[in-house]
Amino acid sequence: MTTTPLILASVGRTYAAFPSLGGAPEYAVRRVGALPSAADLPDDQPVVALLDATLASEASAVAALGERVAFLGVGAAGAVEPGPALPAEALCGFIAEDAAPALARTALQGAVRHAAALVAARREAAAAAARAGEIAELSRVGVALSTERDLPTLLTMILEQARRLSAADAGSLYLVEKGERGEDAVLRFKLSQNFTLPDLPFSEFTVPLTVSSIAGAAAVSGEAINFEDAYSLGPGDRFTFNRSFDEKFGYRTKSMVTIPMRTHRDEIVGVLQLINRKRNADVRLATAADVEREVLPFDAHAVALISGLASQAAVAIENGRLYEDIERLFEGFVMASVTAIESRDPTTSGHSSRVATFTTGLAAAVDRVDSGPYGRVRFSREEMRELRYASLLHDFGKVGVREQVLVKQKKLYAPDLAIIRHRFQFLLQRADLQYERERAQYLWEHGRTNYEEALQRLDRARDESRNQLQRFLDAIVRANEPTILPEGSFEALSEINERLFVDFDGTEKPLLSDDELRYLMINRGNLDERERREIESHVTHTYRFLEQIPWTRELKGIPLIAWGHHEKLDGSGYPRGVNAAAIPVQTRMMTISDIYDALTATDRPYKRAVTAERALDILHDEAKHGHVDPALLTTFMEAKVFEAVQPAEGRRSGAGRRLTPTG
């Protein structure tokens, strides 16, 4: 830093008061025709201007230099005060040009002290501004750290900001890992950055949480460890420095500081290690000469600054870990809920997870689309997580549906079909009994006369009766099979229902009761209207259940997203019958995924699976009739989202029982 005062004097003018001005070694003199600009003056050198009428002629220049220059007024010979040509308010002193040298020297020394005070004030102001800037920067960094929830991203941000604030060329970050089963804690090497060598390979490892290493000692002691030159450490020192990294990659580690990251509860969560503080942060330390020229020690101010960041980082890491724990806890809750859903209906095992896979895959595909109605739609990480959870939980309301309805596989309940089978078995046995009765009656009345002919007639009658009963039973079994689309004729059932039989108690009854006939004549799926309404109620149950959970701000949309997955854009869906304006885009995506998975399920005992091509055709038909979103369906197909899960993966599926199957 230059400390010799600079004296500005008019060009060509001699000052009787300063007979040795040009030769005084304690001053540097610059002759000027006009006052220079502030940019042309040194920041750290006291400057005194001998202000005469010539230099004072430009008032704006004088005013501009008021905080940079001490003005010593020089008047005409014999003058005792500044004349009108000099700005008296800007002067720190005044002498006549013929003043006694001793008096002039005293005045000049006073001006130099004033100039030095101006330099000190500027330095203090600059330092204050720098401190304010650092505080503001730490606050900004703290805000950024507090809002980042992803731990790997957070760690990267911490190390980047620490290096930036300290102008460190390289750095590493360690985290304390506590043993879950009582084993000793360790330090895990989690992250490394190097400006000079940006492409270094990286792998995690652990070191003991002991004083045997520099990082371990900082974590154990809770104190910063600072070296001006790591290579100066020798065998007699407390620490040794392993040069193997430097030797392998041609690097030179010189200044190094290791700072513990301590929370507000005085808990050490990790360690920041910064290497090679530089004069110029943008310089790469490619050679030993670069290191010698550019590398500085980490001074007390730098250590204090990074320690402040380290404290903020510790809290952010603690919060990040807590957030991860909460996420794991909630993930476990969601998956346990899905297990509870699927345990009530084993045939739907895997459906919720697959719908989540399809839906988030479609959302990712929508993110890549730049045109069309969803060209500007983008989903953040939090929104993707919200969508995934909504998809996983969209069928949770099935826990409120009667199990016999939920697991119903055919149009008739299994006990009802068993009753019909027993009824027909009874009628078959009755036909055999009737045959034996009529044969015995013939023998009693006619003996062996024409017996063979009569027996053949009785056999034909019995076979005809048995065959008819078997045909009727086969027709009932076929009609009991549910279908995806409306199909089949019920004429055979009507014919059967017109036939009467005499029950055990002698009462004449139709072969099929009204309830049995009603179930068998369901022309799509396997549920009658009452059962369908009960199944459909699962959506409302889902919403009411999800609405009771105190979701975080990022997940608060889950109940509404899940609620509408059976709504249709034209308002013909359920449970609310709302139209497109009230159906979020996330729900529209889930609806497509739910329908596709239900249609292509390979293991539903109550319906046949359809091919992917047929399922997409059905979805196209749904879009054409205003039920599902055509733009999202196009993206679903073009991005081949439906290939995210293959039937060969052992798919299980959800309960689809309509043209737009329920999931």
Domain ranges for the chain: 6-125, 148-323, 345-399+536-649, 414-525
What local confidence, expressed as pLDDT, does residue 652 receive? 40
Q: Can you list the residues of the chain whose pLDDT is less than 50? A: 1, 648-662
Q: One fold for both 6-125 and 148-323?
A: no
Fold of 148-323: Beta-Lactamase (3.30.450)
pTM recorded for the entire structure = 0.59
Distance, CA of 89 to CA of 248 (rounded, Å): 67
Query: Residue 182, exposed/middle/buried by CB under 10 A (0-12, 13-18, 19+)?
Result: exposed
CA-to-CA distance for 593 and 394, rounded, in angstroms?
12
What pLDDT was estimated at residue 73? 92
CATH code of 345-399+536-649, in short, is 1.10.3210.10
Determine the pLDDT at residue 109: 92
pLDDT of residue 653: 38
Report residue 448 as tokens: 């062996």
Of 3.30.950, 3.30.60, 3.40.50, 2.60.40, which CATH number belongs to 6-125?
A: 3.40.50
What distance, in Å, lies between the first and last C-alpha atoms of the chain?
77
- Residue 184 has a pLDDT of 66
User: Which pLDDT score, from 0 to 100, does residue 570 have?
Assistant: 94
Predicted local distance difference test score (pLDDT) of residue 260: 94
Three-state secondary-structure class, residue 162: helix
Sign of CA dihedral 520, 522, 527, 529: negative
Per-residue pLDDT, 455 = 87
Q: What is the structure's pLDDT at 651?
A: 46
- State which H helix or E strand residue 341 sits in: helix 300-344
User: Tell me, what's the pLDDT at 571?
Assistant: 94
Q: What is the pLDDT of residue 486?
A: 58
